[in-house]
Structure 1
Amino acid sequence: MNLKVETFTLCALLFTVAAIMNSVYAQEDPEVDIGGALRFNYNLSSWKTEQKNRGGDFGYDMFRINANAAYKGIYLNAEYRFYSEAFGGGMLKQGWFGYRFSEKDELQLGLTQVPFGIQQYNSNNWFFNLSYYVGLEDDHDMGIKYIHLGENIEYHLAFFKNAEELRFGNDTEISHSRYSYDVAGRNKEVNQFNGKFVFKFGGNVLQRIGVSGQYGSLYNLDTEEKGDHYGLALHYEATYKDWNLKGEAMNIAHNPENTLGSSGEVILMAAYGAPYEVAADFNMYTLTLARNVPVDWGPVSALQFYNDFGYMQKKEDDFEDSAMNVTGVLLTAGNIYTYIDYAAGLNHSWLGGNYIDDFSRGTPGAKWEARFNINIGYYF
């Protein structure tokens, strides 16, 4: 994208915001709603010998603050999270201004969710699905997004100037203290366009079938040239009584303009305070199944049983594929939500093996590793 196009895009964005400001309806009093959550975590991992000897670890996970506000037709949605320093410390998960033109049409500006694939989550468990770990689930970037939620047709159109930027230097890499995974290192995501279209139908079985696409540039800090990246996805959801099924197929490619001698087969991605390698080109397939069961066990009012599966098929012949499966149950007791998960991974950076290159080259002959995890959170 050349300078004229970038300037035009910025002007269009500012014009849109100005138009909104001039068309808001009167609202006498500001509205503010503050919430949040405190979560603790227990885990026992198959690849951590000393942890197994002491019976696992139980400790702090995260504290977060949510803010929703509205005044004169403009509203705010923000969430700030506090993790330990080892997991990136404090970070803004999302934060955007919004305006509703009608019950069906909405505009969002700021750090907003990228419209790609099944949302809000392509999973049911605490770990998310494999798509999250490569920036394709619950991803948030800096830009502007238009949403139309019709009875049978839903579409999302967005432009993202870049991923969340914290440093604003001339040639600085992105900060690793972030919630969602983005391209890191000497490449930066810039000028990305997204489109998502969903057709909704069904009587007893509510169904959603959709297609998503994204295309953007990768700016290399060393060569000062722009490569590109794209993603395509086909997704399907079905809900029947207390059952829910989600399936998605994705095709992803990254083409960075690296320095001579640097591999184009691998990109760096980062979140939670640390980067790792990811295969530049891959297909991904996910399938989840969940069932809700109402119960009356004292404070426990509901159970949700689920199984979430993801498979990453890497394009390079000498790369080892990655996979993930999580079986678990969510317990609801008043404001307390407890995830009890058995998460297994193959060439998975967060589930055993080698953290740095499991999602890129992987390890030949790698075995499945597993983590038993209990996450307890009070949401207010």
Structure 2
Amino acid sequence: MQTIFFLSVLLLFSTVCHAQYPEEKPEEKSYLKLGGAVRFNYNLSTWKVDQLERGGDFGFDMFRINAEAEYKGIKLNAEFRHYSQAFGGSFLKQGWFQYDFDDRSQLQVGLNQVPFGIQQYNSNNWFFNVTYYVGFEDDHDMGVKYIHDSGRWQWQAAYYKSAEEFVFALTDPSPNRYSYDVTGRNKENNQLDFKVIRRLGDSLAHELGFSLQGGLLYNLDTERNGTRYAGAIHYEHKPYQSPWNIKLQAMLYRFYPKYASGTDPHFLEMGAYGANYNVANKGEIYTAGIAYHIPLNTRLVQSIDIYNNYGFYHKRISGYENAHMNVMGALFTVGPMYIYSDAAFGFNHPWLGPEWTNALAAGTPGDTKWHMRFNINMGYYF
């Protein structure tokens, strides 16, 4: 009898203890990863006579810090960059909070990449393609983006309140930023993006994509909203058990700002890296890229990627001269270093020729020539 009583008390005690101290849950996943890069740059430009006489210039390009973190199911992705003051100084390239609903769906809030065209880059080289210079490649804006990826299908939907915003007032947007946005007397606002991708083949290496974008342009002089829209289709063959990478894209865009009377309506200002230039209000852009990966796995060099990227910018403004860009080169992977060696050719290109302000607007009709910039960018990534 005493034994039964003792066992009953022990059972009751263990039950109470179990109620007061429930079984511990597995620890929630948490981590913090820090990284970054230091890059230096050598360039020799054919249109700069003084630079040709010096044999080119070699100097500081960029220092960056990357952070990825997760705590209690909320993730962080951020990248802060520092350039020289001549190229915009210091600014955030990207930074967003992320919540994963499951393995296929996620939500990003903050400064994230706009889902438009081939991502992450519509290029293989250090210079990007001409799409970057009019705000349609690796563009980052402030908003909310939802991504659903089931393998064969991926779709993204996003709302952006604005581009990078630094001063919450009616002032000209600062050009001190990473990706090209509308600046000057217009401000991007209330933008919607939708993108869908279909992957084909047993290895899903073939990707077909369709993108749409629409939004408003607030003019600081008239205090009225204009409109803008863009669309793109693309194909990409990604190197899955294949050394080849192929990128093809066609896009169009239209900007309709509400300018004050007397203002030229055929262009607007865009800016990044500390400076603005003019861009035609209407145009189509066609790009093509090809790259070949050569694994070496030697003690010094692990691989070489050889590539060529071409872009044709058709301006839909009477009297405006079209623009071209072609970059051929190679990427050398040397341990933690990536070394881009590029010969970049430009025709009516602000970064690849003597005309800065109007190269992507009216150009220099009757006096335009091809120019070349030989560039070596070496970066140590950690």
Report the alpha carbon displacement of residue 29 of structure 1 after superposing the two structures with TM.
6.5
Is the contact between residue 205 and residue 238 of structure 1 (CA under 8 Å) also seen in structure 2?
no
Instruction: Determine whether 1:207 maps to 2:209.
Output: no
How far does residue 27 in structure 1 lie from its aligned partner after superposition? Answer: 5.0
Aligned equivalent of 1:317? 318
In the alignment, structure 1 residue 369 sits paired with structure 2 residue 368: no
Aligned AA (1:72): K
**Residue in structure 1 matched with residue 338 of structure 2 by the alignment:** 337
CA gap 1:31/1:370 in 2 versus in 1, 3 angstroms:
same
Larger radius of gyration: 2
User: Does the Cα contact within 8 Å between 2:41 and 2:61 map onto a contact in 1?
Assistant: yes
SS at match of 1:51: helix
In the TM superposition, 1:33-182 aligns within 5 A as 33-169=33-169, 171-182=170-181
Aligned residues of 1:217 and 1:229 also touching (Cα < 8 A): yes
CA distance in 2, matches of 1:353, 1:57: 17
Aligned counterparts of 2:44 and 2:182: Cα–Cα separation in 1: 30
Rate the CA distance shift 1:111–1:204 in 2: closer, same or farther, 3 A: closer
The alignment covers a number of residue pairs equal to 355
Output the CA distance in 2 between the equivalents of 1:214 and 1:56.
41
Match of 1:195 in 2: 194
The Cα offsets for residues 149-202 of structure 1, whole Å up to 9 and x where unpaired, read as 111110000000000100111x11111110000000111000000000010011
Q: Which residue of 2 aligns with 1:185?
A: 184
Q: CA deviation at 1:112?
A: 0.4
Q: What SS is found at the alignment partner of 2:165?
A: coil
Residue in structure 2 matched with residue 222 of structure 1 by the alignment: 221
- Give SS of 1:300's match: coil
Partner of 2:237: 238
Separation in 2, partners of 1:188, 1:117: 22
Contact in 1 for aligned 2:100/2:106 (Cα 8 Å): yes
Deviation sequence 1:85-113 (CA, Å, 0-9, x none): 00000010000000111111010000000
SS in 2 for 1:176: coil
Q: 1:187 to 1:295 in 2, by over 3 A?
A: same
- Taking the aligned partners of 2:85 and 2:328, their CA distance within structure 1 comes to 29
Distance of 1:114 and 1:39 partners within structure 2: 25
Q: Is the 8 A contact 2:152 2:204 kept in 1?
A: no
Distance in 2 (CA, whole Å) between partners of 1:113 and 1:205 is 23
Q: Deviations over 1:20-74 (max 9, x none)?
A: xxxxx98546411100000000000000001000100000000000000110000
Which residue pairs with 1:286 in the alignment? 287
Please provide the CA RMSD for this pair: 1.2
Quote the residue 1:16 is aligned against. none
8 A contact 1:27–1:72 mirrored in 2? no
Task: Give the secondary-structure state (helix, strand or coil) at the position aligned to 1:172.
Answer: coil
Partner Cα separation in structure 1 for residue 113 and residue 359 of structure 2: 26
SS across alignment from 1:350: coil
> 5+ residue gaps in structure 2?
1-24
TM-score w.r.t. the length of structure 2 is 0.91
Q: Summarize the Cα distance change of 1:115–1:204 in structure 2 as closer, same or farther, 3 Å threshold.
A: closer
Does the CA-based 8 Å contact 2:29-2:73 persist in structure 1?
no
Asked if 2 retains the 8 angstrom alpha-carbon contact of 1:153 and 1:199, the reply is yes
Which one is further off, 36-45 or 204-213?
Answer: 204-213
Q: Distance in 1 between matches of 2:70 and 2:266?
A: 46
Bigger drift between 209-218 and 28-37 goes to: 28-37
Aligned structure 1 segments of 4 or more residues deviating by more than 6 angstroms? none
Residue 263 of structure 1: CA displacement? 1.4
Deviation, 1:239, is 3.3
Distance in 2 separating the partners of 1:290 and 1:320: 29
Shift of 1:203: 3.0
Residue type at the aligned position of 1:129: N
TM-score (normalised: structure 1): 0.92
Percent of paired sites with the same residue: 52
Matched residue SS, 1:362: coil
Give distance in 1, aligned partners of 2:231 and 2:349: 23
Shift of 1:205: 7.4
Partner AA of 1:320 in structure 2: E
8 A Cα contact 1:26 1:73, kept in partner? no
- Structure 2 CA distance for aligned equivalents of residues 110 and 236 of structure 1: 28
SS in 1 for 2:296: strand
